Amino acid sequence: MENKVSRWCLVSMASIPLVMTLGNSMLIPVLPIFEKKVGITSFQSSTIITSYSVAAIFLIPVAGYLSDRFGRKMIILPSLILAFIGGLISGFSSWKIEDPFVWITIGRILQGIGAAGATPIILPLVGDLYKDDDEKASSCLGIIETSNTFGKVLSPILGSLFAAFLWFLPFFSISFFSLISIVLVFFFIKAPKNKDEPLPFKEFLKKTKEIFKREGRWLYAVFLIGAYAMLLLFSVLFFMSDILEKTHNIEGVRKGFVLAVPLFTLCAAAFLTGKKIKGDTAVMKRVLVVSLIMVGVSTAFVGFVNDMLILMLVVTSILGTAIGAMLPTLDALITEGIEKEERGTITSFYSSSRFIGVAAGPPVMSLLMKEYLNISYVTGGAVGFVLLFIVIKFIKAEEQNPDAKMA
Which pLDDT score is estimated for 121?
A: 80
For every residue of 331-351, DSSP letters joined together read HHHHHHHS-HHHHHHHHHHHH
What is the pLDDT at residue 275? 80
Confidence band, pLDDT 50/70/90 cuts, at residue 323: very high
Mean residue pLDDT of the chain comes to: 85
Mean pLDDT is highest, among 9-23, 221-235, 356-370, for: 221-235
Q: For the chain, how big is the Rg over CA atoms in Å?
A: 20
Q: Which pLDDT does position 318 carry in this prediction? A: 97
Q: Per-residue pLDDT for 3 more than 60? A: no
Residue 184, pLDDT score? 92
Alpha carbon distance 5, 10 (integer Å): 7
| Averaged pLDDT for residues 342-348 | 73
- What SS3 class is residue 51? helix
Tell me: pLDDT of 6 over 50.
yes
- In whole angstroms, what is the distance from residue 110 CA to residue 52 CA? 8
- pLDDT tens across 64-95, in order? 778 877 888 888 999 999 999 999 999 999 99
Distance CA 343, CA 330 (A): 14
d(CA 144, CA 132): 19
How confident is residue 197, by pLDDT bands cut at 50, 70 and 90? Answer: low
Helix, strand, or coil (residue 84): helix
Give the HSE-up count for residue 31: Cα atoms under 13 Å, Cβ half-sphere: 30
pLDDT over threshold 90, residue 31:
no
Q: How confident is the model at residue 399 (pLDDT cuts 50, 70, 90)?
A: very low
Residue 398's pLDDT is: 54
Other beta carbons less than 10 A from residue 403's beta carbon: 10
Res. 290: pLDDT tops 90:
yes
The pLDDT value recorded for residue 252 is 86
d(C-alpha 105, C-alpha 348), whole Å: 24
Question: Which amino acid belongs to residue 131?
Answer: K
For residues 212 and 181, what is the distance between their CA atoms, to the nearest angstrom? 33
Predicted confidence at residue 52, as pLDDT, reads: 85
At position 135, the amino acid (one-letter code) is: E
DSSP state of 196: S
Average pLDDT of span 394-398: 71
Please tell me the predicted confidence (pLDDT) of residue 119: 74
Residue 187 contacts residue 13 (beta carbons within 8 Å): no
Are 163 and 292 a contacting pair, CB within 8 Å?
no
Domains, the chain, ranges and CATH?
7-394 (1.20.1250.20)
Q: What are 75-78's contacts with CB under 8 Å, separation 24+?
A: 75/117, 75/118, 75/121, 76/16, 76/117, 76/118, 76/121, 76/122, 76/125, 76/185, 76/189, 77/182, 77/185, 77/186, 78/117
Of 201 and 346, the structure prediction assigns the larger pLDDT to: 346
Residues 6+ apart with CB under 8 A from 218: 333, 337, 394, 395, 396, 406, 407
Look at residue 171 and tell me whether its pLDDT is greater than 80: yes
Q: What's the rounded mean pLDDT across residues 374-386?
A: 94
Tell me the C-alpha to C-alpha distance, in Å, between residue 335 and each of 40, 65, 290. Answer: 41, 15, 21
CA–CA–CA angle 379, 54, 184 (5° rounding): 115
CA atoms lying within 13 Å on the CB side of residue 237 = 36
pLDDT of residue 276: 81
Q: What is the number of alpha carbons within 13 Å of residue 79 lying toward its C-beta?
A: 30
Nearest of 324, 323, 302, 304 to residue 313 by alpha carbon: 302
